[in-house]
Amino acid sequence: MKRVGVLSLQGDFEAHGKALERAGAEPVYVREPEQLRDLDGLIIPGGESTTMLKLLHYEGLMDALAEFGRRKPVFGTCAGAILMANQVSSPAQESLGLTDMAVERNAYGRQVDSRVVELDPDRAFQERTAPGKLEAVFIRAPIIRRVGENAKVLARYNGDPVLVEEGQYLVATFHPELTQDSRVHRYFLEKL
Ligand code: GLN
């Protein structure tokens, strides 16, 4: 069974752990650099990216995660997507710079900005997982303003990319761990 780390400093890491179990992988809740050894991949969950950055520095995980991400598949949701992007605005902040992507934080507005919508994922995604619409929960989500030339946009909402694959990386601005549909996690597991 694949062993997949879930960064567990802050945010909804437990929901990702359960989603990984549903998708047939073993979650490892990562809080220290040593735990990254022997993992097949890593999930960076949603939460609050500024807080997560502080904790990453405090735990000495910043360089370890960047190094892990250069070698292995990483999947970031929401705050995790922000931490992976090489360009962050509103406000600007440091990141791991794994994906060639510009994200604007809290871009749907500051207060009432959470919603559940149905996405129509692209055909390749449906063929590799299973056909059908994808329920997507957005919580104070960022908007992806630019993707690099190696990116594949797997789903859009209002025309903006919300599920993007770039090489060994997968990024969602919504929260697939909060629904019962495990296709996005399964799609990620296929990269390992
Ligand atoms: N608004 C958060 C941030 O900027 C992300 C929200 C989320 O992960 N659900 O970090």
Classified as helix, coil or strand, 81 is helix
CB of residue 76 inside a 6 A radius of ligand 1: no
Weakest mean pLDDT among 16-30, 103-117, 154-168, 171-185: 103-117
Nearest CA to ligand 1 atom 2: 48
Query: What angle, 0 to 180 degrees and rounded to 10, lies between the N-to-C axes of helices 62-71 and 49-58?
Result: 100
Bridge partner residues of 26 (DSSP): 3
Mean pLDDT throughout 28-49? 97
| Pair 104, 90: CB distance under 8 Å | yes
pLDDT at 109: 73
51 CA closest ligand 1 atom index = 10
Give the residue, by CA position, lying nearest to ligand 1 atom 5: 79
Q: How far is the CA of 124 from the centre of ligand 1 (A)?
A: 28
Q: Average the pLDDT over 140-160 and give the result.
A: 97
In angstroms, what is the span from residue 37 Cα to ligand 1's centroid? 27
The share of the chain scoring above pLDDT 70, in percent, equals: 98
- pLDDT at 88 > cutoff 70: yes
Please tell me the predicted confidence (pLDDT) of residue 165.
Answer: 98
- The answer to whether residues 183 and 167 touch, using CB atoms and an 8 Å cutoff, is no
Mean pLDDT of the chain: 96
pLDDT over 90 at 111, yes or no: no
Q: Are 177 and 14 in contact (CB under 8 A)?
A: no
User: What ligand 1 atom has the least distance to the C-alpha of 48?
Assistant: 10
Q: What is the mean pLDDT of residues 106-118?
A: 81
**What is the band of 108 on the pLDDT scale with cuts at 50, 70, 90?**
confident
CA distance 56 to 65: 9
**pTM higher than 0.95, yes or no?**
yes
Q: What is the mean pLDDT of residues 160-187?
A: 98
More confident residue, 71 or 109: 71
The two three-digit tokens of residue 19, written as one number: 């989603």
- Confidence category of residue 110, pLDDT binned at 50, 70, 90: low
